[in-house]
Amino acid sequence: MNILYIDIDSLRRDHLGCYGYHRNTSPAIDSIAAEGIRFENVYVSDVPCHPSRTALWSGRFGMKTGVVGHGGTACEPFHEGADRIWAGTFYYHGWMKALRDLGYHTATVSSFGERHGCWHWYAGFNEVINPGKVGMENADEVVPKAIDWLRRNGSDKSWFLHVNVWDPHTPYRVPEAYGDPFADEPGPQWLTEEVLAKGVAGYGPHSPLEPTGFTEDDQQSLYPRAPTPIDSMEKAKAWFDGYDTGIRYADGYVDLLIEELKRQGLFDKTIIVIGADHGENMGELNVWADHQTVDQFTCNVPLIIRWPGANEMRGVNRGLHYHFDWPATLIERLGGKVPDIWDGRSFNAALLDGNDGGREYLITSQGAWAAQRGVRFNRDGADWLMLRTYHDGYKDFGPTTLFNLTDDPHEQENVAGRHPEMVAHASRLLEEWRGEMMKQSSTNIDPLMTVMREGGPFHCRGELPAYLKRLRATGRAHHADALEKRHPREAHPVRR
Q: Is 441 in contact with 434 (CB distance < 8 Å)?
A: no
pLDDT confidence of residue 338: 97
Percent of the chain with pLDDT over 70: 99
pLDDT confidence of residue 388: 98
Domain ranges of the chain: 2-360, 364-460, 462-496
Q: Is 468 in contact with 492 (CB distance < 8 Å)?
A: no
Residues of the chain whose pLDDT is less than 70? 495-496
* Listed residue (51, 162, 63) closest to 108, CA to CA: 162
Phi then psi dihedrals of residue 402, to 5 deg: -130, 135
pLDDT confidence of residue 496: 60
Q: Is 358 in contact with 323 (CB distance < 8 Å)?
A: no
Exposure string over 277-308, b if 16+ CB within 10 A, otherwise e: bbbbbbbbbbbbbbbbbbbbbbbbbbbbbbbe
**Tens of pLDDT, residues 455-473:** 999 999 999 999 999 999 9
pLDDT confidence of residue 219: 74
Task: Label each residue of the chain as H, E or C.
Answer: CEEEEEEECCCCHHHCHHHCCCCCCCHHHHHHHHCCEEEEEEECCEECHHHHHHHHHHCCCHHHHCCCCCCCHHHCCCCCHHHCCCCCHHHHCCHHHHHHHCCCEEEEECCHHHHHCCHHHHCCCCEEECCCCCCCCCHHHHHHHHHHHHHHHCCCCCEEEEEEECCCCCCCCCCHHHCCCCCCCCCCCCCCHHHHHHHHCCCCCCCCCCCCCCCCCCCCCCCCCCCCCCCCHHHHHHHHHHHHHHHHHHHHHHHHHHHHHHHCCCHHHEEEEEECCCCCEECHHHCEEECCCCCHHHHEEEEEEECCCCCCCCEEECCCEECCHHHHHHHHHCCCCCCCCCCCCCCHHHHHCCCCCCCCEEEEEECCCCEEEEEEEEECCEEEEEEEEEECCCCCCCCEEEEECCCCCCCCCCCCCCCHHHHHHHHHHHHHHHHHHHHHCCCCCCHHHHHHHCCCCHHHCCCHHHHHHHHHHCCCHHHHHHHHHHCHHHHCCCCC
Q: How far is the C-alpha of 266 from the C-alpha of 187, rounded, in Å?
A: 38
pLDDT confidence of residue 150: 98
Pairing of strands 159-165, 361-366: unpaired
CATH 3.30.1120, applies to 364-460: yes
Q: For 85, left (φ over 0), alpha (ψ -120 to 50), or beta?
A: beta
CATH 3.40.720.10, applies to 2-360: yes
pLDDT confidence of residue 83: 87
Q: Is 358 in contact with 281 (CB distance < 8 Å)?
A: no
